[in-house]
C-alpha cells in the first residue's frame, strides 16, 4: 500500500541565529518548530524557554549555532512583567488556580521600597510549575498531580528592578536578571512582602545577552517573506560568542586548532575563552589552560583540513 509514498526531501543544513518574537499562548518548542519549517532547517534549537503565557525574544539557533546555545542560556536577560496584587495562584501566574484573594492597600512609595529589597543578590525557591527535574521528572508534572516537592533556595542576581507603571492593584516592572531567576517567583515574593499576595499576569522578554527584541521578527512576518529572504534574517553563528575577545590565526595555526591540537601562547589567564578566526572565517571557541597553551573548546565544522 505504501509502495508509492514519496519521501519528503531532506531539510537544509543552514547555520545562524534567528531572533524570534514569540507570541503569548504558544510554547517555545511550537514556535521553534514553526520557524524551522519555514526555514526548512535540518537542525534547530532555542536558547532559553519562555512559558506559553510569556511573549518576546526567543533566540533560535540553527545548524552549527546550536553548539553555542549554552552561551545564551547562561547570559543575562531583561523582562517587562505585569504583576497583579491581591490574588495568589498555585502556579504563580495568571494560568494557575486561584488559591487566595486578599485586600490590597499598597501605595507607590511602599511598592518602591519593597522593590528595592529585591534588587541585587537574592534567594529564590524555584516554583513547582517549572521544568527543573527531580528523579528524571519535571517539577510541573508533580505539581499537576498535586504533589509538592521540597526545593532548596537558590541565589540569583536581580541587577535592575524598575517600576514602569502602577495602578493600585497592578503594576509593571522591568527586570534585568542573571541565570536561574524566576520572574513568577519574584512576583509571588513581592506580593508576600507586601502582605497581599500577587501573581504574574504578563511577561515579555526584551533582551537576552547581547540580543535585543527590537531586532526580532514575528512568525507572521516570517511567513509572508519569500524563502530566500527568510535566510537573510539569520545572524552569523559567531554573534553568540561576541562577548569573548577575538583572536585571528594564520592558516597553519588554524589548521592546528581544527585538528584538535593546542597552540603555545603565553601571558593569558587560564580558563579565559576567545573567539577563533582563520583566513576563511570563524572557527569556534578556544580556551587557555594552565599549561600556557590555547586549546580548542568548541569548533564549527569547516571545509578546512
One pLDDT digit (tens) per residue for the chain, 305 residues: 455 556 566 688 899 999 999 999 999 999 999 999 999 999 999 888 898 999 999 999 999 999 999 888 889 999 999 999 999 999 999 989 999 999 999 999 999 999 999 999 999 998 888 778 888 888 888 888 888 888 889 999 999 999 999 999 999 999 999 999 999 999 999 999 999 999 999 999 999 999 999 999 999 999 999 998 999 999 999 999 998 999 999 999 999 999 999 998 766 788 899 999 999 999 999 999 888 889 999 999 865 43
Alpha-carbon Rg for the chain, nearest whole angstrom, is: 23
The answer to whether 60 touches 16, Cβ cutoff 8 Å, is no
Q: Please provide the CATH number assigned to the domain covering 244-299.
A: 2.30.130.10
Q: Which of 234, 213, 211 is nearest to 222 (CA)?
A: 234
Catalytic residue among 15, 21, 51, 238: 51
Report the CATH architecture of 77-208: 2-Layer Sandwich (3.30)
* 291 classed as catalytic: no
CATH 2.30.130.10 domain extents, the chain = 244-299
The answer to whether 198 touches 191, Cβ cutoff 8 Å, is yes
With residue 304 as reference, give the H or E element that holds it: none
Q: What residue has cell string 500500500?
A: 1
Residues 6+ apart with CB under 8 A from 146: none
16-75+210-239 folds as Pseudouridine synthase (3.30.2350)
Q: Measured between alpha carbons, how far is 66 from 60 in angstroms, rounded to an integer?
A: 9
pTM for the model = 0.89
Which residues face 18 on adjacent strands? Answer: 60
CATH 3.30.2350.10 domain extents, the chain = 16-75+210-239, 77-208
Amino acid at each position: 500500500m505504501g509502495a508509492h509514498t514519496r519521501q519528503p526531501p531532506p531539510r537544509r543544513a543552514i547555520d545562524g541565529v534567528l531572533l524570534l518574537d514569540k507570541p503569548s499562548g504558544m510554547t517555545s518548542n511550537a514556535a521553534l518548530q514553526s520557524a524551522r519549517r519555514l526555514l526548512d532547517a535540518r537542525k534547530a534549537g532555542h536558547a532559553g524557554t519562555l512559558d506559553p503565557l510569556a511573549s518576546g525574544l526567543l533566540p533560535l539557533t540553527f545548524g552549527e549555532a546550536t553548539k553555542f546555545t549554552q552561551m545564551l542560556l547562561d547570559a543575562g536577560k531583561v523582562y517587562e512583567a505585569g504583576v497583579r496584587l491581591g490574588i495568589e495562584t498555585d502556579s504563580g501566574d495568571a494560568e494557575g488556580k486561584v488559591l487566595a484573594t486578599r485586600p490590597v492597600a499598597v501605595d507607590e512609595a511602599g511598592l518602591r521600597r519593597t522593590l528595592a529589597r529585591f534588587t541585587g543578590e537574592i534567594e529564590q525557591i524555584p516554583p513547582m510549575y517549572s521544568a527543573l527535574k527531580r528523579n528524571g521528572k519535571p517539577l510541573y508534572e508533580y505539581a499537576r498531580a498535586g504533589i509538592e516537592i521540597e526545593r532548596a533556595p537558590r541565589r540569583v542576581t536581580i541587577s535592575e528592578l524598575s517600576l514602569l507603571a502602577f495602578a493600585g492593584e497592578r503594576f509593571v516592572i522591568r527586570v534585568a536578571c542573571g541565570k536561574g531567576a524566576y520572574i513568577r517567583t519574584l512576583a509571588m515574593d513581592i506580593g508576600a512582602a507586601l502582605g497581599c499576595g500577587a501573581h504574574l499576569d504578563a511577561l515579555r522578554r526584551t533582551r537576552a545577552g547581547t540580543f535585543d527584541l527590537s531586532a526580532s521578527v514575528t512568525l507572521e512576518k516570517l511567513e509572508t517573506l519569500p524563502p530566500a529572504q527568510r535566510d537573510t534574517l539569520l545572524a552569523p553563528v559567531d554573534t553568540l560568542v561576541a562577548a569573548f575577545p577575538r583572536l585571528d590565526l594564520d592558516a597553519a595555526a588554524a589548521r592546528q586548532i581544527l585538528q584538535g591540537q593546542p597552540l603555545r601562547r603565553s601571558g593569558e589567564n587560564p580558563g579565559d575563552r576567545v573567539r577563533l578566526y582563520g583566513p576563511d572565517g570563524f572557527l569556534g571557541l578556544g580556551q587557555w589552560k594552565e599549561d600556557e597553551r590555547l586549546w580548542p573548546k568548541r569548533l564549527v565544522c569547516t571545509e578546512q583540513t
